Amino acid sequence: MTPAATSEEIKPAPRPPRSEPADDARPTGGRPAGGADVRLLTAVDVRILEGVAIGTSTARLAASLYLSRQGIEYRIGLMMRHFQAANRPALVSRAHSLGVLSVGAWPPRVLPEFHESEKRAGRTVP
């Protein structure tokens, strides 16, 4: 940079305008904010996600769910891919930000509208 260059000459490239979804394309009902399409979780995935959210180890999850450690890691890997998360904390953060996990409660629970078994049976859990 030459001494004659000023901050006026160095400007960031303009960003393209952000397109907003049309009113009819916005999520409604059980869909989370942000427009992400979250599939329903199986009962095993629900228990695993809740366990990961509270920091339960793979070995303890495997023992409590009668699965192998590799089976738990496989299911977590599938959820990380689905939620586009790089690691376990990112998975929990993403699930929380999409509205899959309950807000303001400990331990965090997956909301009933994301339970595959509850939707299939037509029940709602309080």
Instruction: Give residue 38's pLDDT.
Output: 77
Instruction: Give residue 42's pLDDT.
Output: 94
Instruction: Give residue 94's pLDDT.
Output: 95
Other C-beta atoms lying within 10 Å of the C-beta of residue 14: 6
pTM above 0.85, yes or no: no
Let me know: does 58 contact 69? Beta carbons within 8 Å.
yes
**Helix 69-82 and helix 58-65, axial crossing angle in degrees, nearest 10:** 110
Residues in the chain with pLDDT < 70? 1-37, 118-126
By three-state DSSP, how is residue 62 classified? helix
